[in-house]
Amino acid sequence: MTLKICLRTFFLLILFCLVACTSRNDALIVYVSVDQNYAEPVLKKFEQQTGIRVLAVYDLEASKTTGLVNRILAEKKNPQAAVFWSGEFVQTIALKQAQQLEPYLSPNAAEIPPQFKDPAGYWTGFAGRARVFIVNTEILEPHQYPGSLSDMLNGPVPTKEIGIALPLFGTTLTQAAALYTIWGAEKTDLFFKQIEESDIQILNGNSSVRDYVSQGKLSFGLTDTDDACSAIEKGKPVRMIIPDQDSLGTLVIPNTVALIKGGPNPELGKKFIDYLLHPTTLNDLIASGWCHVPLRKADESPSCMETDTILAFKVNLDSIYTNYVRHRKALKQQFLK
Amino acid sequence: MKSVKRKRIVQFIKTSSPWLIYALLLIVPLLFLAVQSLVDMSSAEESVFQNWISVRSMNLLFDSILLACLVSVFAMLISLLFGLLVYTRWSGFIREMKWILLFFAVIPPYVQASVWLDVFSLFGWPTQGLLISFWVQLLSLLPLSLLMVIYGYQQVQTDVIEAGRLLSSDQLVLRKIILPAVKPFVITSGGVLFVFSLLDYTIPTIFQYPVYSLEILEEFAATGQVLYPFLKSIILMLIIVPVLVGSAYWFINMNAKPLQSNLSAGVKLKFSLLVKFGLSLLCLLLILVFLIPIFDLFFRSGSLIEVPTALQDNMRILIHSVHMAFWSSFAMIVLAYWLLSTIRSLNLFAWLIILLPLCVPQALSGLSLSVFWNQSFFHQVYGSNLMLILVNIIRFGPIAVLILYLFKSRISENLVEAGKVYQANRFRRFRQLDLPLHLPGIITAFLLLFILSLGEVGASIAVIPPGGETLSIRIFNYLHYGAGEVVSGISLSVFALLLLGYFLHLLYRKTKGTRSTQGSSSIKTTES
């Protein structure tokens, strides 16, 4: 009996030691909803430069960028992270609406256009990406390349050769919300109804669209600049086309960074936000291939882009969020039948 | 009177404690999630129930069942044949394959995914869809099935076989004695693999083969509410429970039979030319399956010079992952041992309760832990590395109980009773009798749990602590982003460590063999 008690006590002690070993008092905890291969070098560089230990949790592609937002909301009473760095803006605005963010106006955000930051400083946008077409150059001739979103339905390429990610998650859903803001409900409803009724391939994510087009399974598809760039850099027979550059423009999706309300070590969090918004970090993100629309002056230029200027949707990001909330359920019902 | 009452209370606490802990760690979080879902249900919209069973989700379910059936059937077939190879002691190399297999079983499934993705694209085979998902899932689950079936072969009574061989051909002995005896183990392994495959969304996701279990995670991602994934999980569990009950039925039945006290070392059977050809082909295929990833990794990385750099880059995460897998397996073994020490046998209902966590989809298990342990009185636990251990316990704890129970049922009751009579000191009895008797089961369970814990991703992603990323999660994530060089580096370091471990093991066995030879010759000298 004594041995059993000893063994059990020993076991419990070890478990508690394990808990104690993970002391995080002096560390900065960051929740990162940006592809890990791009975010990790930035965090490591920050650690090296400041000596601040960073403990990160990365979102998984499988949880469609909302995994960490749901986690932050669930941790409302016990915030674990100091900073949330997201690859897009809708989920960050959702956190602001849920009163999960703390305002912080970073001095390094002064040059960022007001369209891409919250006036009260709840979040700051930087280092943008854009929604683009990825085209297989071995299948399509230049005159067949799509120039506008409407070409997906009315262009020369058969609809069964076109791909789009399921518009229920990530940047595809954000783009849908942006279209509701720009086109209005009637035209956007019709657009998605026609997509659903057509033979357009509805894929699991933007990376699937990239892969299908790269492998020649599809002629073209709608994706993000980072996906298109990664295929171009790997030497795949693809080209990036930015849609509607002579009319409405395309959706530019800034990265966003925000301080979490009640999170541990907010001072370290503010230092990290300053670092992330610094022009040097912007250059690093452009060089790594994560950022293609800098939103401010940068020394680096994206290697895979054929143009320096992108015509972006002229919309307020908060209004896109409003439409995101308003239409997401209808889209879900439409596409998850 | 009072002291009798006190003794009864103490006895009750002693016997119920392990069950309470098992319930707290494995059952209560799931019940908590179920209650939370019921609460959400009262305020849910009608559309929730309308979308519960949609055409799309039924198609996904069909695709998932197809994949699980393929994995399960092929694994049963390969395990049956490979087990036969080991059992019939074809050659020293085959016996060696058993060890190689054990070492390579430790490779996380996502390393397999990475190398086979490369191999498939090299040969121009489809790198997305059913075929590659099936292949990688089969390879990642195969060790589990092999272990069960080889164990089954070892249960066949050698004297019955020898008696049979006197009267009829080896092929008939195989058909009439050996295969029927192994059948329950093969069927159980098939059932377990079907369940594991159906629950896994991680490997199919890498190869863009949409499965139903991913839908569960996506439902939570899209809504942020536990009700939606809970409802989706019910459908999956309705399929899994009968399969698991069936497997448990076989399992309990095979335990009802008296088993040999010693594991059979196998018999050398004579086969026809056709059977020999078939088995040789299987052997060749298995060797290729193990060699191809190694060659692929070394070719991809350029040279062996890359190994130290890859090791240096990934050492911290490797140690952390091994650390977590080790303590998870240790905790599960202690809990299972403690639990089984309070009972003599288990009925079907008790088995159902124990096995319940095995029926739960990975995403839902992870969610239940994040919901349950994120309470104000558990704040020290939530967000710590302990969450990774709890994930492994909720996912694989029932397997620890199953294996230890299987081995425990082989232990002679007389020996245990004799120990109680002749050795009153509990500590000595444990050290001299209980532990040696249970050791084969403990080692087998530990190895299997360690392998499974090392590869866990599906549930861990919901509770991963800050800075607590494991090797499997890292590879899984990087595979999605197509960052091949990082995955190669990690995979190469895993392979290098495993090869080192294997050669050390060979060296140890050789040294041990030399010593025992020296020992026996000295005995002979003394005797002479």
Mean pLDDT of B369-373: 92
- Asked if the structure places residue B240 within a domain, the reply is yes
Per-residue DSSP letter, B123: T
pLDDT for residue B178 = 86
User: What is the tally of structural domains in chain B?
Assistant: 1
Residue A207 three-state SS = helix
Give the pLDDT confidence of A53-90 residue by residue, as tens digits.
999 999 876 665 678 898 999 998 889 999 999 999 99
Give the CATH number, domain containing residue B230.
1.10.3720.10
B515 domain-assigned: yes
A54, A58, A70: which to substitute to probe chain B, counting the most B Cβ within 10 Å?
A70
Mutation target to probe the A interface, by most A beta carbons within 10 A, among B10, B218, B329, B368 is: B218
**B3 within a domain of the structure (yes/no):** no
The beta strand positions in B305-371, using DSSP E, are none
The half-sphere exposure of B406 on its side-chain side, counting CA atoms within 13 A, is 24
CA count, 13 A, side-chain hemisphere, B436: 10
pLDDT at B481: 73
Burial A84-115 (b: 16+ CB within 10 A, else e): bbbbbbbbbbbbbeeebbbebebebbeebeee
Residue A11: the pLDDT is 66
Higher per-residue confidence, B492 vs B363:
B363
Nearest to A22 among B56, B384, B480 (CB): B384
pLDDT of residue B477: 85
Q: Is there a contact between A15 and B327 if contact means CB atoms under 8 Å apart? A: yes
A321 or B343: which leads in pLDDT: A321
B208/A208 Cβ within 8 A = yes
**Band (B290; pLDDT cuts 50, 70, 90):** confident
Residue B112 lies inside a defined structural domain of this protein: yes
**Which residues in chain A have Cβ-Cβ distances shorter than 8 Å to B331?**
11, 15
Identify all chain A residues contacting B327, using CB atoms and an 8 Å cutoff.
14-15, 18
B172 within a domain of the structure (yes/no): yes
Range of the structural domain that residue B344 is part of = 28-36+52-527
Q: Looking at the complex, report in whole angstroms how far the Cα of residue A293 sits from the nearest Cα belonging to chain B.
A: 20
Residues 6+ apart with CB under 8 A from A251: A130, A131, A171, A174, A175, A178, A312, A313
**Band (B387; pLDDT cuts 50, 70, 90):** very high
- What confidence category does residue B279 fall into, taking pLDDT thresholds of 50, 70 and 90? confident
Q: What is the mean pLDDT of residues B391-399?
A: 93
If contacts are CB pairs under 8 Å, which of residues 154-213 in chain B contact chain A?
Answer: 201-202, 205, 208, 210
pLDDT for the residue B89: 62
In this complex, is the C-beta atom of B47 within 8 Å of any C-beta atom belonging to chain A?
A: yes
- pLDDT beyond 60 at B303: no
Q: How far is A18 from chain B (nearest CA, A)?
A: 7
Task: Determine whether the interchain pair B51/A36 forms a contact, defined as Cβ–Cβ distance below 8 Å.
Answer: no
Is residue B42 situated within a structural domain?
A: no
pLDDT in tens, B512-528: 666 555 554 443 433 33
Minimum distance, in Å, between the CA of residue A163 and any CA atom of chain B: 14
Distance from CA of A29 to the nearest CA of B (A): 6
Q: Which of A55, A211, A230 sits opposite B467 (nearest CB)?
A: A55
Residue among B13, B384, B388, B435 with most chain A CBs within 10 A, to mutate: B384
What is the arithmetic mean of pLDDT over A259-282? 95
Least confident of A23-27, B58-62, B179-183, B359-363: A23-27
Q: Which residue has the higher pLDDT, B432 or A130?
A: A130
* Residue B2 resides in a domain: no
Q: Which residue has the higher pLDDT, B159 or A224?
A: A224
At residue A57, the pLDDT reads 93
Domains of chain A by start residue, with CATH: 24-128+253-301 (3.40.190.10), 129-251+323-335 (3.40.190.10)
Query: pLDDT at residue B304 above 80?
Result: no
Q: Which residue has the higher pLDDT, B368 or B293?
A: B368
Query: With contacts defined as CB-CB under 8 Å, which chain A residues touch B379?
Result: 78
CA dist A268 and A174 (Å) reads: 31
In a domain, B23, yes or no: no
According to DSSP, the β-strands at A162-165 and A220-224 are parallel
pLDDT band for position B278 (cuts 50, 70, 90) = confident
| Pairwise CA distance, residues B89 & B29, whole Å | 47
CB contact under 8 A, A336 and B202: no
